Structure 1
Amino acid sequence: CFYPMSHRREGDDNWYSLGFEERKRLMHEHGRSGRAYTGRVLQLVSGSTGLDDWEWGVTLFAHDLGDIKDIVYTMRYDEASARYAEFGPFVIGMRRSPSELVAEIGLVPAGDA
């Protein structure tokens, strides 16, 4: 699953007008929700500020699609997401097998060099 996201910057819901300690508290709560899925969902967050219209790209990996659905649903209720996050379109599915991806981007698996 991949989706772009940014933090809101409008009215009383401006993430960047919050103090550091408040942002830290909100992200701790958000992380606590995500840690409930340790071992089931792996997350990769890439920064894209200045590269496109979004601040981050979030990629979630799981063997069971239900785990992705559950973590996204659960974390939407965290204040950091519910009040301060903007989400782009969600894209989900396997586009390439791992070996096809490695071949396509020109990497050689360990031991094949």
Structure 2
Amino acid sequence: MAPVVPIGTAPIEIIRHPSGRDLEEPQGFATWIVLRRTESTGTAGKESIEAAAADLGDVTLRGIYDLTGFRGDADLMLWLHGPDAAALQHAVRRLRRTAELAGTEQTWAAMGVHRDAEFNKRHVPGFLRGIEPRAWVTVYPFNRSYEWYLLPAEDRARMLAEHGRRGAAYTGVIANTVSAFALGDWEWILPLESDDLVELVDMMRDLRAVEARMHVRDEIPFFTGRRIETTDVMEVLA
């Protein structure tokens, strides 16, 4: 009954900050793959998902999530991260060919990379800071309004500070914001983790009542699920 545990450590790279300071900052890509069960068996191999997950090199499988009951088009979600996007692509293909996942089809995917977050230039996603995964996750893409990036910097800073103060009250939530410009249809991917599902619900509702909310263009779909063990995958897909 081996649990899905993070394997490997993101590399540390010295980054030249625009201010001229050198920042020692973990760099990494992340991808989220949403799957649903089909009648097809695909091109199943003999390798198990547990064996594959333990042998992904620099890629870490942060979690497998049960999405049952949250959406009609999704049963399972994978969250992987690593220093190289091509390595993530290879890892996803390998996992998709395992005996457990060959009978699924992909319904959604997103790729992101750690860059400066607009709300906090020093924000480093929890998954790159060695923070252990939490029991629940909600993942959603995000686009700002067309006007947002043309607003005076001081106005954006004021609104983001309000947003940050409101979110900071939810101390059990781990933020993992990554940049997604040019990697798909979205500007940011926001994965939020907590051991308390209701805390995620309350925080998302509370953050609706801030001024920055007026500058949101897109923030769907949402994918929310419970982190499971590799040995539970077949039961979820049965």
TM-score by length of 2: 0.37
Structure 1, gaps ≥5 residues long: 101-113
Q: Report SS of the residue matched to 2:224.
A: coil
State the 1:96 CA deviation.
Answer: 4.0
RMSD: 1.2
* Structure with larger Rg: 2
Q: How many residues matched?
A: 92
Q: Does 1:84 find its partner at 2:215?
A: yes
Q: What code does the residue aligned with 2:195 have?
A: H
State the 1:95 CA deviation.
Answer: 5.0
Q: 1:50 aligns with which of 158, 178, 182?
A: 182
Q: Report SS of the residue matched to 1:33.
A: helix
Q: Report SS of the residue matched to 1:93.
A: strand
The structure richer in helix per residue is: 1
Q: Does 1:59 find its partner at 2:191?
A: yes
Structure 2, gaps ≥5 residues long: 1-137, 231-238
Q: 2:157 aligns with which of 16, 21, 24?
A: 24
- C-alpha distance in structure 1 between counterparts of 2:226 and 2:169, whole Å: 24
Q: Which residue of 2 aligns with 1:111?
A: none
- C-alpha distance in structure 1 between counterparts of 2:139 and 2:194, whole Å: 12
Q: Which residue of 2 aligns with 1:106?
A: none
- C-alpha distance in structure 2 between counterparts of 1:64 and 1:95, whole Å: 12
Considering Cα pairs closer than 8 Å and 6+ residues apart, tell me whether 1 or 2 has the greater RCO: 1
Q: Which residue of 1 aligns with 2:200?
A: 68
State the 1:94 CA deviation.
Answer: 2.4
TM-score by length of 1: 0.77
Q: Does 1:3 find its partner at 2:143?
A: no
User: What percent identity do the matched residue pairs reach?
Assistant: 36
